[in-house]
Amino acid sequence: MSSPLEKREAASMERRAFLKQATLATAGAAMATAPASLMAQSSYKQPQHAPMELGLLIKPSPDPEAKIRLVHELGFETCFLSLDGYLDHFTPALTKQFAGLLEKYQVIATTAEVVNPQPLKWNFLEGPSTIGLVPRAYRQARLDALKQCSDFAKSLGIGRVQTHCGFISEDPKDPLYPETVAAITEITRHCAANGQSFLMETGQETPTTMLRMIKDVNNPALGVGLDTANLILYGKANPVDALKVLGPHVRAMHAKDGKWPTNPDKLGEEVVIGRGEVDFPRVLQMLHELGYQGAVSIERETSGPQQIQDVKEEKLYLENILNKIRNA
């Protein structure tokens, strides 16, 4: 009889063999509308990954090889790319570099995100006027950045583009609301033309407000990037209840934990997964029941050796939950 460790290793080998052979069927068609400058280096086709495959959010700039290698060394098969460091520098050479590194380390990039340009104030006092596509002063620059990100992601066969859309008004008669609908409609159409989904990351708005936006944009390419902690950090909802509202629309996930805000000026505290208010067993079970096909991407908002140690702990915690769900 095989030991549990031997079974896990065998399963991992089988999964890697599958990933090596599988390709994204739509990647070739998605290349048709990307800029010619990126098309010159856009032949890379990523393999598929298993539903709810664990991954890691990384910020590749300024050393993408070190970051993608770290994903591999920590035992992840997927990564979520935060690409703000490359705005205005998405070149064919960068496409070639990223494609080579993803292939070299057998890592699948599942989603690409930008939130810049600045300013961005991650708090309750200045956040509404600085974050996302809601503020008029920064809207066009952010749309331009997202289109850059979408075109670059397309050149790598990445099918999801994500951002924080901002503090979307709960009042549909607020003059900023229809303007935000128009902006999200514009970027969703751009992503759809690239064969991608555009995802609104949860956080600054209530789940009901996000659902209204999905209804008003009325484009199947628009979906949700579930950040489990942000809903709590911003005091908007707990993720279990959020999934009751947004579950069918979730196409990407940040696994992150946090505590409710107790200072009305500051967000709640992000903490190591398993030490906060997120009910991960229930959230992951609900996603499984919903037939969620995306990755589960760990995001730990620290840096250095402590971040790596935290991620290792979080990976083990989530693997234990996912194994129970899959073996039930």
User: What's the predicted TM-score (pTM) here?
Assistant: 0.88
Measure the CA–CA gap between 29 and 193, rounded to whole angstroms: 10
Angle at 322 between CA 321 and CA 328, to 5 degrees: 90
The mean-pLDDT minimum among 17-21, 209-213, 313-317 falls in 17-21
Measure the CA–CA gap between 266 and 219, rounded to whole angstroms: 34
pLDDT at 23: 34
For 187, residues 6+ apart whose C-beta sits below 8 A from its C-beta are 133, 143, 146, 147, 150, 161, 198
Fold of the domain built from segment(s) 49-327: TIM Barrel (3.20.20)
- Read off the pLDDT of residues 24-58 as tens digits, 9 standing for 90 and up: 333 333 333 445 555 444 557 899 999 999 999 99
pLDDT, mean over the chain: 90
| Higher pLDDT, residue 303 or 239 | 239
Determine the distance from the C-alpha atom of residue 250 to the mean position of all C-alpha atoms in its chain, rounded to a whole number. 10
Angle at 181 between CA 175 and CA 183, to 5 degrees: 105
Confidence band, pLDDT 50/70/90 cuts, at residue 123: very high
pLDDT at 42: 54
Position 13 pLDDT exceeds 70: no
The residues spanned by each domain of the chain are 49-327
Position 224 pLDDT exceeds 80: yes
